[in-house]
Structure 1
Amino acid sequence: MAQSGWYPDPAGTPNRYRYWDGTRWSAETADDPRTPPPGMASGPRTARRNSRWPLLAGALALVLVVVVIAVLVLRGGGPAALTDPNPPAPSISGWNDSSPLPTASPSPTPPPTSPSGDPQGQTACAAGDPYQTETHPSDGRIHGGSLSIVQPGGDWERDDDYARQMTWAYDVAGADEWVEPEWLAMVAVGDVHAADGFHNPQQAADGIMQCIASSAYYQYFVGRTTLFSRAFTRDGRSGWAIRAQIRVDNPEVHASGDVVEVIVLDAGVTGQLSYFAGFVPIGDQARLKLLDTTIAGLRVG
């Protein structure tokens, strides 16, 4: 989870910074991010180490902050803001979980306005239970929710723990491959629940993409570009697919970010939607081809 510090003012005021203390924003603003924290004497700031995939402690910290922020008034009641099944489409915002992204040509989103990519006004991601699992066939495929995918070959390993850092979901399973010491490619499947604010495939796909982009997966976030947002059908089940580039400027990695695809299908289970999520580095054509192959092999059941 991101550390406390000065970040661009979430209100959007140019050249102004607001202090994030780990749970909330300060009332004070400053024009220099080197300004001492409000009410504290000046001194050196502690260096922080960030990575694309934080360990379990980082995931637990993320859950704690999400739960705390979800109850604040500025959140509008937490996941309830995801409940509108036909929300209006925004012009450029990539930070409103309640609204689907534009389906026209790719458009960049503005940079984040908080250390976790979670500015004022953005809906807190639901607190699901990714370790809550269902019984699935032992057929060599990776099953989560009502979907399954082929286990990628080569250096890819079955690794549910990293996939289960998608803390807003349930019954999550996945596989990943190290791209470099601080960066992973990953594919995963799981469920999201209507009770948490995910009500139809299009709205849920956008909400999941927002949760991914604003999570601790992508500290040093600098922007997001939607490549497509369109209807998707598999095995007679209707759904929605969104592919985006999520870009970072992380000094500890060579990767400039990921191509992320989220697919949500209504598999006919009351109160639930099933999803696929895939992450491969931007510009990595071999892994992008593997992502497309994995999606081609996606099954309901």
Structure 2
Amino acid sequence: MANAGWYPDPGGAQGMYRYWDGHAWSAVTTSNPAAPPPSQGLGQGSSPLSGQQSYGAGQQSGTQGGQQPLGYSGQPSAYQAYQQQAGKKRSSGLGWWLGGAAILVVLIIIGVLVIRNLGGSGGLSNPLGGDDPSTNPCPVNTSSSSAAPNHPSDGRVHGGPISYPELGSPWGEPQGDDRVPFGADVQEQEITTEPNYQRDSSWVASVLVAQLIAGDGFYTPKDGVGIVAKCVVGKFYGDNPVQRHDLTSKAMKVDGHDAWYLQSHLTFNIEGLKAKGETMTLLVVSDGATSGLFYSSIPDNAKQYQAPADKALSELTVDK
């Protein structure tokens, strides 16, 4: 025989509970299964019909002689008892779930704020002179140009652990740059393609090599390429919207070292600038202890410089 307690109404009233005292059903129902036992209406042979009291002998109620309807056993079934207990467990579990969800939301908000603070500090000065873009995943650059090592004068442009054959005229002489947010020991060559498109601002085609900054979360060449690509799009074009379309993304080898190659076409509309897009090429190669970066950016209205940039990449080596 089932224990005393509130059970789903055997009369079928949805969402309602009737009290079983171990011998008989109560005359009353409730929607709260945690309610205290009813003070009246117990032991009266009550009907399971949605809170109506049972009729005595000679009265008409769909039953005869106070008997219960066909199939009614007079006590909670095992399934009804299970439903009662399961309902308690579901209520308890929901409380824990809601509490956990609230904690998770708080943690997510804190995480977003931390990421924003990290992403918006330091790094390359905005070359367009505008405010920081809304999405800027660039790592913080704590390197200094004075710390760059002395590279050999061997006709190659060295940056970090990699180098390429120096490009001739009209490419400028290799020069260092300590503003690059994702690199240290940066060496680059440039060609001015649109001088003074805005006051004190010129647009360039560029090729550079560098060492990826240590400790910024680059675990594989592919990871490094992904973060640098987002940094370029989020930082180098100010607040101007930039659309990125990846053309090629693949693993490769450079001097037997693991590398990842990405070439993307970027489109934009910048006031005063004739170029409406450019091709970005990135390659990150690991030499074990450090990682090297190759980057080139060739405007659409200066495509004649794409072939020299691609040649420099094809002749990239890891310095021993």
**TM-score interval, smaller chain:** 0.5 to 0.7
The equivalent of 2:312 in structure 1 is: 294
Q: Does 1:145 align with 2:121?
A: no
Q: CA deviation at 1:130?
A: 5.5
Give 1:121-140 correspondences, 5 Å limit: 123-129=137-143, 131=145, 132-140=147-155
Out of 242, 255, 264, which is 2:262 matched to?
A: 242
Q: CA deviation at 1:149?
A: 1.2
Q: CA deviation at 1:258?
A: 1.7
Partner Cα distance (1:78, 1:218) in 2: 18
* TM-score of the aligned structures, taking structure 2 as reference length: 0.55
Partner Cα distance (1:218, 1:227) in 2: 23
Partner Cα distance (2:248, 2:191) in 1: 25
Gaps of 5+ in 2: 1-110, 120-129, 196-201
For residues 105-146 of structure 1, give each alpha carbon's deviation from its aligned partner in whole angstroms, at most 9, with x where no partner exists: xxxxxxxxx953333xx6442324262312322112110001
Q: Does 1:176 align with 2:190?
A: yes
Q: Does 1:117 align with 2:157?
A: no
Out of 278, 287, 294, which is 1:276 matched to?
A: 294
Gaps of 5+ in 1: 1-70, 80-113
Out of 158, 169, 186, which is 2:206 matched to?
A: 186
Out of 226, 230, 242, which is 1:222 matched to?
A: 242
Misfit runs of 4+, over 4 Å: none
Amino acid at match of 1:245: H
The structure with higher relative contact order (CA 8 Å, sep 6+) is: 1
Percent of aligned pairs sharing the same letter: 23
Partner Cα distance (1:223, 1:167) in 2: 21
Does the residue aligned with 2:242 lie in a helix, a strand or coil?
A: strand
The equivalent of 2:279 in structure 1 is: 259
Contact 2:194 2:273 in 1 (8 A): yes
Rate the CA distance shift 1:186–1:218 in 2: closer, same or farther, 3 A. farther
Contact 2:134 2:239 in 1 (8 A): no
Amino acid at match of 2:143: D
Contact 1:117 1:219 in 2 (8 A): yes
Contact 1:130 1:167 in 2 (8 A): no
Q: Does 1:156 align with 2:171?
A: yes
For residues 52-82 of structure 1, give each alpha carbon's deviation from its aligned partner in whole angstroms, at most 9, with x where no partner exists: xxxxxxxxxxxxxxxxxxx982517737xxx
The equivalent of 1:32 in structure 2 is: none
Contact 1:219 1:248 in 2 (8 A): no
